Amino acid sequence: MASHGLDYDGCNFFRQRLVLSTLSGKRVKIKNIRSRDDNPGLRDFEASFIRLLDKVTNGSRIEINQTGTVLFYQPGLLNGGSVEHDCNPQRSIGYYLEALLMLAPFMKNSLKATLKGVTNDPVDPTVDLLKSTALPLMKKFGIDGEGFDLKVVKRGMAPGGGGEVLFTCPVRRTIRPVQLTDPGKIKRIRGVAYSVRVSPQMANRIVESTRAVLNQFIPDIYIFTDHMKGANSGKSPGFGLTLVAETLSGSFFSAEMSSTPQGQGDPILPEDLGRNCAKLLLEEIHRGGCVDSPNQSLALLLMTLGQQDVSKVLLGPLSPYTIEFLRHIRDFFQIMFKIEVQKPLEDERKGGDKVLMTCVGVGYSNINKTLK
């Protein structure tokens, strides 16, 4: 079966499948993509994602049928280097970046990607969130050093976009196994309240209402206000907030909210946005673990691709996306995780059940990387 590649149905978990296919070198065929929909086939943002994948690889073969309901993908070598891509504004740059974060360490040349499009929308993890949670997580797996950076050059809110992000990542030959079993206590909360093409006062209003909720727990809160102007402010107005709680052992919990995109649904008051976002952060802290929920799959992938040694990571409840990712890892790499539920102790006030994930890495080494 493996020689014919893997077969899947439907457009959900699209990125996971293509990313794991690229890393494992296995061909993948996705059928019935919105085949019963009034508007069948791949959407523009998925086509845009495939084009991005084509840019960072060399020799990939992509075949799509006429209606776009069947996709065949034969991965090439991960080349990397300088890449510039206009991300389709139907999804924010976070959608594309999540996949790039997974691929970047395994490229032949270190990646320098300029992504243009929507930097912040309410659907996907925003660039600000990934910058403050995914990057520190990857550093724990030994991916760091000079030129590991994610920078918001221009901010562009949904639906217009017009933002720009610069992502640079060094390459690694092997990934370090990790033991992240103690999340530690939260020592501080940081955040960014951003606003573009609206009154800069919006950001201040967000900050005030957020602090009112979080000050019940900890005094060390600092929320930056970021108001970009002129050419750096994109095409649509909007505002939002990203909150990150940092623990003593260097784990991060995050939450975020963006204003409703212009012309789509009811507008939201900055005060409400701040309060609700603070509550989302509390929810994330309640879930707990050493990795927050949007980054669970990234952590599990790096564990899988680590050297042949035991990796352990404590997570909060597994999200549906992560559960499907685990199944895909089994399909592509034949790795099954040991999953243990840890119930909180009787008198402990540390949120809900946690899940301890254990696996032995496949000993993946980056054959593309040139030896110096």
Partner 1 sequence: LNQSSSEICPAFKTYKKRWIWIFFSPVSSSGALRWKDCLQQKASEAFLRQQAAAPNLRKLVYGSVAEAGDSGEDEEEELGGLFRVSRPQKSKKFTANSLDCSRFDPETSHNWDGEEMLNSIRDCFVTGKWEEGQDAA
Q: Give the footprint of partner 1 on this chain (CB under 8 A).
A: 9-15, 32-34, 36-37, 95, 98, 123-125, 183, 185-187, 213, 216-219, 248, 279, 282-283, 285-286, 288, 293-294, 297, 318-323, 326-327, 330, 336-339, 341, 348-351, 355
Nearest distance in Å: CB 311, partner 1? 17
Is the Cβ of residue 39 or residue 370 nearer to partner 1 in the bound state?
Answer: 39
Token pair in block for residue 190? 């940081």
Find where tokens 């523009």 sit: 44
Q: At its nearest, how many Å lie between partner 1 and the CB of residue 55?
A: 20
User: At closest approach, how far in Å is the CB of 112 from partner 1?
Assistant: 24
**CA angle 211–212–214, rounded 5-degree value:** 60
Work out the angle between the directed axes of helices 93-103 and 296-304 (0-180°, nearest 10): 20
HSE on the CB side for 364, CA within 13 Å? 27
Instruction: Give me 44's structure tokens.
Output: 């523009």
Rounded to a whole number of angstroms, the minimum distance from the CB of residue 326 to partner 1 is 5
CB of 316 to partner 1, least distance (A): 9
Query: 292 in helix, strand or coil?
Result: coil
Residue number with CB closer to partner 1 (202 or 284): 284
Cβ nearer to partner 1, comparing 169 with 326: 326
Looking at the Cβ atoms of 227 and 246, the one nearer to partner 1 is: 246
For residues 361 and 303, what is the distance between their CA atoms, to the nearest angstrom?
6
> Phi and psi dihedrals of 85, rounded to 5?
-145, 135
Q: What's the min distance (Å) between Cβ of 99 and partner 1?
A: 10
Whichever of 178 and 326 has its CB closer to partner 1, that residue is 326
d(CA 6, CA 18): 11
Going by the DSSP 8-state scheme, the letter that residue 5 receives in this structure is: -
CB of 348 to partner 1, least distance (A): 6
The DSSP 8-state label assigned to residue 126 in this structure reads: P
Please report, to the nearest 10 degrees, the dihedral formed by the alpha carbons of residues 61, 67, 68, 71 taken in order. Answer: -50
CA distance 86 to 234: 14
- Nearer to partner 1 among residue 70 and residue 213 (C-beta): 213
The CA distances from residue 195 to 43, 198, 204, 227, in Å, are: 29, 6, 10, 5
Residue with the two structure tokens 């659907």: 123
Between 66 and 216, whose beta carbon lies closer to partner 1? 216
The rounded distance, in Å, linking the Cα atoms of 123 and 24 is 29
The least distance separating partner 1 from the CB of residue 106, rounded to whole angstroms, comes to 20
